[in-house]
Amino acid sequence: MQRWRRLQQCRYELPLSRPKVGVQGATGGWRIRRPVLERGKCIGCGLCWLYCPDSTIDVEEEGGRFRVSIDYTYCKGCGICSSVCPTKAITMVSEV
């Protein structure tokens, strides 16, 4: 069974793991901050997707542009995606 996806813009094939399904993988109510994407600033570079340790960010091609989505069910709120974003399109907001 193939456990990786091919993206046209990548130079290398990288194995990806999906977030755990079920109670063990879901974040629950303990996350303090969550990433919010400002689509107008996003250039679709995919760095957030590449660096996310929980594989909760997905990048899909839509009409010649890349669309980023975040699965908040499994996002831990670590902020790495926000740190690596070159256009600061992702900001961390408080959930408290």
pLDDT digits (tens, 9 = 90+) for 12-40: 666 666 655 555 577 777 889 999 999 99
Q: Is the pLDDT of residue 61 over 60?
A: yes
CATH code for the domain of 80:
3.30.70.20
| Segments in 1-96 forming alpha helices (H) | 47-51, 80-84
Closest alpha carbon to 51 in 80, 27, 75, 77:
80
What's the pTM value of the predicted model, to 2 decimals?
0.71
Q: How far apart are CA 81 and CA 57, in angstroms?
A: 9
Closest alpha carbon to 17 in 45, 53, 48, 47:
53
Whether 76 maps to a domain, the answer reads: yes
Q: How many domains does the chain have?
A: 1
Whether 21 maps to a domain, the answer reads: no
In this prediction, residue 67 carries a pLDDT of 87
Q: Provide the residue range defining the domain that includes 52.
A: 33-94
In this prediction, residue 63 carries a pLDDT of 83
Whether 2 maps to a domain, the answer reads: no
Distance linking the first and last C-alpha atoms of the chain: 41
Whether 10 maps to a domain, the answer reads: no
